[in-house]
Amino acid sequence: MTHSPDPPEHLSLSCPVAFSEHDTVQLAHGGGGRMMRALIEELLLPAFRDRSRPGGLPLPHDSAVVEMAGARIAFTTDSFVVNPLFFPGGDIGKLAVYGTVNDLAMAGAQPVCLSCALILEEGLPLDVLRRVVESMQQAALAASVRIVTGDTKVVDRGKGDGIFVNTAGMGLVPPGIEVHPSRVRVGDQILLSGDIGRHGITIMSQREGLQFAGAPDSDCAPLADLVSQLTRLGADLHCLRDLTRGGLAAALIEIADHVQVGMEVVESAIPVVAPVRGACELLGLDPLYVANEGRLVAFVPAAAAELGLAILRAHPAAPQPAVIGEVVAAHPGEVELRTVLGSGRLLDLPSGEQMPRIC
């Protein structure tokens, strides 16, 4: 971000929008859209780049995989700042465990252990903290992972939002498994594990006090066991991505763009439960862009799609699995949606978070 907020006059109208390229952090920098991506690619990755190694920037993935003593270790970290701390279907503790477990799983790894760092705001009731860490422990049990180390810091009242949680995690990648965006191939089928948009709508309905009839629970769930079943596909399991901020659309667009393949996705094949659809219609949101915390997409060759779908169908963490589209040679870097009416529409990364429309 090299633009100054007030361009000198001699630049005049050739540079009329410099102020929009913010020189302070905006909420949209964390929204899972283009601004977040620009922050990572233009500021963070260059800063942390390993200059001893030749070549360009690595393809972004949910976990890094490093070799240590002959084993392939997946390693990742994630921070959680959700408000409210408790919501239907989950809480910040559960999210913090499952979020990191899922990032490990997206590299094909079986999670082994997690760290837990807590940033607590002065004045937080200990009872709230107790509920959060108990929930973390239960979530760790459910995901078959141990929390083995941690850290605690307390900040002045008003300088935090109750609790911020960071978890880092390590997992083991089984032999023969290589799950990575770079393995996505033209002809791969795109499998989606379940209905989309629950978490985002749950949080929005809680945060904004919106009441929807039959409001959904968050889909917040661990995906490691589901992924371990999918590893039965062996080398046919090309790529996995869990759907988080930015929703299904952002996950697909990112992979299409990074790997420079095209994707075609069929809108009518994408499951959305009625309460999520209703809320989206009401608020003018597109469910394709709404956040999830327990859904994944898998890229597998056409010959393996049936088996992949059967594995998903047999697993409770994949409630409504479907083949939603495929990877194509045409329009590399772009995801085209076939609408319910049969017309085509290009999906684009949102700028930041979706904003409810006025009418």
Nearest C-alpha neighbor of 67 from the set 27, 107, 8: 107
Dihedral angle sign, alpha carbons of residues 225, 184, 309, 285: positive
**Least spacing, CB of residue 331 vs another protein, in Å:** 7
Residue 79's identity, in one-letter code, is S
Q: Which is nearer to another protein, 20 or 52 (CB)?
A: 20
Task: Give the binding site for another protein (CB under 8 A).
Answer: 5-6, 13, 16-17, 19-22, 24-28, 34-35, 38, 208, 210, 274, 277-278, 281, 283-284, 286, 331, 334, 339-346, 348, 350-351, 355-359
**Least spacing, CB of residue 266 vs another protein, in Å:** 12
**Least spacing, CB of residue 36 vs another protein, in Å:** 11
Cis peptide before 84 (omega within 30 of 0): yes
Q: Which is nearer to another protein, 179 or 203 (CB)?
A: 203
Residues 297 and 190 sit within 8 Å (Cβ to Cβ): yes
Q: Which is nearer to another protein, 53 or 357 (CB)?
A: 357
Helix then strand then coil, in percent of the chain rounded to 5, is 35, 25, 40
**Least spacing, CB of residue 115 vs another protein, in Å:** 30
**Least spacing, CB of residue 11 vs another protein, in Å:** 12
Q: Which is nearer to another protein, 46 or 356 (CB)?
A: 356
**Least spacing, CB of residue 26 vs another protein, in Å:** 5
Q: Which is nearer to another protein, 188 or 353 (CB)?
A: 353
Nearest 5°: phi and psi at 139? -65, -40
**Least spacing, CB of residue 141 vs another protein, in Å:** 38
How many other CB atoms are there within 10 angstroms of residue 45's CB atom? Answer: 14
Residue 265's identity, in one-letter code, is V
**DSSP strand pairing (189-192 vs 344-347):** unpaired
Q: Which is nearer to another protein, 122 or 208 (CB)?
A: 208
Cα separation, 298 vs 247, whole angstroms: 15
Cα separation, 102 vs 175, whole angstroms: 19
Q: Which is nearer to another protein, 56 or 342 (CB)?
A: 342
